[in-house]
Amino acid sequence: MVSLALPSRTAGDAERVASAVGGALLTLYGLSRRSLGGAALAGLGGVLAYRGATGRFPLVGVAGGATPAPVQVVEAVTVTVPRAEAYAFWRRLENLPRFMHHLRSVRDLGDGRSHWVAKGPGPLPDIEWLAEIIEEREGEVLAWRSLPGADVVNGGHVRFTDAPGGGTEVHVRISYHAPGGAAGAALARRLDPVFGQMVKEDVRRFKHVLEAGEVPTTDGQPSGRVSGSEK
């Protein structure tokens, strides 16, 4: 159980950035719902954003000392391209920001390691981390995880299989550990609908890029063709 009545504490830089990101997303999602439940979510988002701005947050009391499990989002899509083509596009990590709009860049450093930069909300700085590939079977599976020292511990697993009617089924699982221990994890689960929707939209854009050869913008207009060198 999370207590709202305990004194606040000062958060570290990584926790402040994560709280600000989560708070902004939750507030926007809650306001878009235009309901009592949405208002409650927006209020919680405001609390998180306040923590990000000030470094202080009252949600620190948690019953039990077990290590919280990671928050996971699972999504799947069928694309009408061969499995080798779908895998090759995702495996070229520099392509990820083309359909994962929260990412600013991903740079392949070689030897299975990469440098990731996610966009910070508003005036807050970008979030950066190093990751490594932990499983790779060409045309079938690609999995990665952040290296120690990441602001937000995270990972991903993508599986590619032949679709029964042709094309490729792409199964995506994204996971992360919220900063702040069990209290942070409890709050992160409140953000599940937001992050779930983000992953769903990322996967939808991945399908659009592969099938239409262009990246849709927020107004539904294409922002550019996908060249053969980027696949």
What would the pLDDT profile of 110-121 be if each residue is shown by its tens digit? 999 999 998 765
**pLDDT number for residue 196:** 75
By percentage, how much of the chain surpasses pLDDT 90? 39
Structure confidence at residue 213 (pLDDT): 75
Mean pLDDT of 135-151: 93
Q: Which of 17-26, 118-127, 152-161, 208-217 has the highest mean pLDDT?
A: 152-161
Mean pLDDT, the chain, whole residue set = 72
Most confident of 30-34, 60-64, 167-171: 167-171
Whole-angstrom distance between the N-terminal and C-terminal Cα of the chain?
Answer: 47
What are the domain boundaries of the chain? 2-62, 71-230
pLDDT in tens, 50-71: 555 555 544 433 344 445 566 7
The per-residue pLDDT for 1 is 29
Buried b (16+ CB within 10 A) or exposed e, 101-128: ebbeebeeeeeeebebebbbbeeeeebe
Q: What are 1-10's pLDDT values in tens digits?
A: 233 233 334 4
Selected residue with higher pLDDT from 5 and 156: 156
149 in Cβ contact with 130 (< 8 Å): yes
Q: Please tell me the predicted confidence (pLDDT) of residue 139.
A: 96
| pLDDT average, residue stretch 175-204 | 68
Q: Give the mean model confidence (pLDDT) for residues 215-224.
A: 47
pLDDT of residue 30: 53
Amino acid 102: pLDDT: 83
Give me the CATH code for the 71-230 domain, please.
3.30.530.20
Share of the chain above pLDDT 70, in %: 51
